[in-house]
Amino acid sequence: MAQMSPEEIIDQQRQDWSRVAPAWEKWDALLHQNLSFLNHRLVGDARIRPGQRVLDLGSGTGYPAIVAADAVGNQGEVLGLDLSEEMLDRAKRKAYGLGLFNLDFRVADATHLSEGDGSFDAVISRFCLMFLPDVPKAVAEIARVLKPGGYLAAAVWSVPDQNPFIRIPMEVLRRFIDLPTPPPGQPGIFRLAKPGDLSGMAEQAGLQKLGDDEIQADSFYDSADTYWTNLLDMAAPLQPLFAKLSAKDRGEAERQIKEAVEQFRKGEEIALPMAIRIVVARKPF
């Protein structure tokens, strides 16, 4: 696979996530049902308290920034950054609808932060850091903008084996097209999946590692149909791969994915296991 330049990666990411922004709004309730626990976990792990200044990297349609805004209260403030204006438009509407005015969203690349040294009590991030062209650089930026004693709490996807939620469609796709593993260091869903991947970079950047844990949860769907439609609508990294299939192969891939997913049925619902890596680190005083 040809290496993309950092600029090309950023452009691709911006285009991919902007394209799926309307779908993220459409599926917001389901996404929140499946992932809201993670917002609270990140806010807790970052020890966020009233009155603090918090930075959320890759806020997308607003999480975990919105939950952090509630935690810091009127005396605190939260800044959410994302590459995609389209994603942030949805985040802004949501925050406004919830009556949160201590929260600002801005278009920016998380690898180049314009904020000054020591500006934030905490940096949080949900499912963004593995998509950056230069994660060590971004982590060095996080360390720079944190106040002494400030916390980083980030969620990334853990290994594919523990994530049938993402593994199944990739396994099925591999039966139809060549799906090369991204070269080491190139962005991808599982780029920071292993213990030490992200926490090692945090230590390199001078942060003190407090945790590097895999946590398990289920992602619930009322049917295999809902899972499939949701996947196709929202999964920006997978869309271009499905687009490579002929109509016939796509139909067959859909059938195989739904059949595999159906094996996770628990009564009325499908409960697909997810495994998430949570990395927590602190800037020394």
Q: Which residues bind ligand SAM (CB under 6 A)?
A: 10, 13, 17, 58-61, 63, 81-84, 87, 109-111, 126-128, 131-132
Kindly tell me which of 238 and 258 has the beta carbon lying closer to ligand SAM: 238
β-pair type (120-126, 146-157): parallel
Cβ at position 143, least distance to ligand SAM in Å: 17
Kindly tell me which of 215 and 256 has the beta carbon lying closer to ligand SAM: 215
Kindly tell me which of 112 and 175 has the beta carbon lying closer to ligand SAM: 112
Which residues have a Cβ under 8 Å from the Cβ of 242 and sit 6 or more positions away?
A: 173, 232, 250, 253
Q: What distance, in Å, lies between the first and last C-alpha atoms of the chain? A: 43
Kindly tell me which of 160 and 250 has the beta carbon lying closer to ligand SAM: 160
Q: Among 133, 108, 1, 131, which Cα is nearest to 55's?
A: 108
Cβ at position 59, least distance to ligand SAM in Å: 5
CA geometry: angle 249, 253, 257, nearest 5 deg: 175
Cβ at position 32, least distance to ligand SAM in Å: 9
In the bound state, the residue with its beta carbon closest to ligand SAM is 60
Kindly tell me which of 237 and 265 has the beta carbon lying closer to ligand SAM: 237
Cβ at position 60, least distance to ligand SAM in Å: 2
Cβ at position 107, least distance to ligand SAM in Å: 8
Cβ burial, residue 104 (10 Å; 0-12/13-18/19+): middle
User: Do residues 90 and 80 lie in contact, with contact meaning Cβ atoms separated by under 8 Å?
Assistant: no
